[in-house]
A = this chain, B = another copy of it.
Amino acid sequence: MGVWEAAKEELRRLLGFRALLSRPEKEVYRYDAILVGEEPFAVALPRTREEVQALVRLARRYGLPLVPRGAGSGLSGGSVPLGEAIVVAFTRMDRLALDPATRTAWAEPGVTTARLSEAARPFGLFYPPDPASYRTSTLGGNLGENAGGPLCFKYGVTGDYLLALEFVDAFGEAHLLERKAYDLPGLLVGAEGTLGLITGARVRLVPIPQHRATLMAAFPEVEALAEAVSRAVALGAVPARLEFLDPACVDAVEDYLAMGLPRGHALLLVETDGDDAELVQEELSLLEETAKAHGAKVRRAQDEKEAEALWRARRAVSPALGRIRPKRVNEDIAVPRSTLPEVVREIRALGEAYGLIVVQFGHIGDGNLHPNILFDPRWESEEKVWDLAHAIARVALRHGGVLSGEHGIGLMKRKFMAEAVDGETLEAFRQAKAALDPEGLLNPGKLLP
């Protein structure tokens, strides 16, 4: 029996054959939502922390890298396997325990973001981080990417809700750490599975606000929209959601839904929330007035139903874009709000120069933009597409922005990292990695260039 056969045999003994996938199921675990990796050596679906520990020890002995994986909804290739590797899919570790008295929940990594929030609802609580993928994405993946979402402008991102973390390190040791002394739990947040395997987390829940209000503002120019946002925030507005669609996006959604959106305009969607109905409306009025002062036409939702309809436009962006071209590269940059008008302009010009369709939308409150390059691989060069993606990332860096607003670095932006952070910072990252995973067993080839 060869060494690989022995490894497989051990894995089977450890997990049982139903927790160890072989072809063709294994194929599915090559992908995340943007990249395709190589066929993994094995796909393991552990059910307990002890199984995860045993897996790490086994992997160490055979020198097999481990690739942690949640739902595989990532947009930077973080959970995509490279070379002979064991994918550790956490979807079966999905125990969840709520403690309404302390407003916390203990969740295993496979619990989906939606389930966490829904389980809290009967207690008048919710879990704010809301990536658009929240129905499928897992807490482990959210922590791995420090995921955000529309609500993050007001409520903060995944890491802001983490109270304690249980993880298995590269030596197979389990740790349960509060965020005290050296904040090692915090170091694992956003580390994309390169520093430890998360097996549980205690997270904070918050009370559901009692009132919400929504408006949609249509601007003739993206620049005016960005300025209105800047101004309203400076005046003290803290909307719960602040989403932006550029004219190309608006046209795509209108083609798709025919809901009467103003073609050729840039759209701003705003939601305010709070426990006092009047204040919630007042805050929305502040946004309304600022938008109007910047030349926008404003439509204010009269009730929850109309609000829902307006938000449908935002949620329809992904499917709408899929109708224009079969493939897309979803960029994810974050820039200072003040530079938004210029950044949006430069990215539009780049798209024109490359002769590729580029649409832009995002959580504009945080300066988080998602320029999407749409293409058809049958007659448009993928190389050119990636080249453009790289050029877009450079625009962000030039304006004091960052490479990844919320989707992470993963495999996709690894190479850009060297441009984004200085040599000493990279060296500090490398030392942290070397200290926690000296043999490079955990998700090698990700994040660090």
Query: Which positions in A face B, CB cutoff 8 Å?
Result: 100-103, 124, 159-160, 169, 173-175, 177-184, 186-187, 189-191, 195, 207, 230, 233-234, 236, 238, 274-276, 278-279, 336-338, 402, 404, 409, 417, 421-422, 424-425, 428-429, 431-436, 447
Q: Nearest B residue to A159 by beta-carbon distance?
A: B183
The quantity of this chain's copies bound in the complex is 2
Find chain B residues with CB under 8 A from A230 CB. Answer: 101
Establish whether residues B402 and A169, one from each chain, have CB atoms under 8 Å apart when the complex forms. no
Establish whether residues B233 and A101, one from each chain, have CB atoms under 8 Å apart when the complex forms. yes
Find chain B residues with CB under 8 A from A431 CB. Answer: 435-436
Establish whether residues A183 and B175, one from each chain, have CB atoms under 8 Å apart when the complex forms. no
Known: A181-B190, A207-B236, A276-B275. A338 touches B175 (CB 8 A): no
Establish whether residues A180 and B435, one from each chain, have CB atoms under 8 Å apart when the complex forms. no
User: Which residue, A169, A177, A182, A337, has most C-beta atoms of chain B within 10 A?
Assistant: A182
Known: A175-B424, A279-B276. A432 touches B182 (CB 8 A): yes
Establish whether residues A124 and B236, one from each chain, have CB atoms under 8 Å apart when the complex forms. yes
Establish whether residues B234 and A184, one from each chain, have CB atoms under 8 Å apart when the complex forms. no
A433 to B181, CA, bound (A): 12
Find chain B residues with CB under 8 A from A275 CB. Answer: 274, 276, 279
A338 to B104, CA, bound (A): 14
Establish whether residues A191 and B186, one from each chain, have CB atoms under 8 Å apart when the complex forms. no
Known: A175-B425, A184-B432, A432-B435. A102 touches B336 (CB 8 A): yes
A195 to B230, CA, bound (A): 36
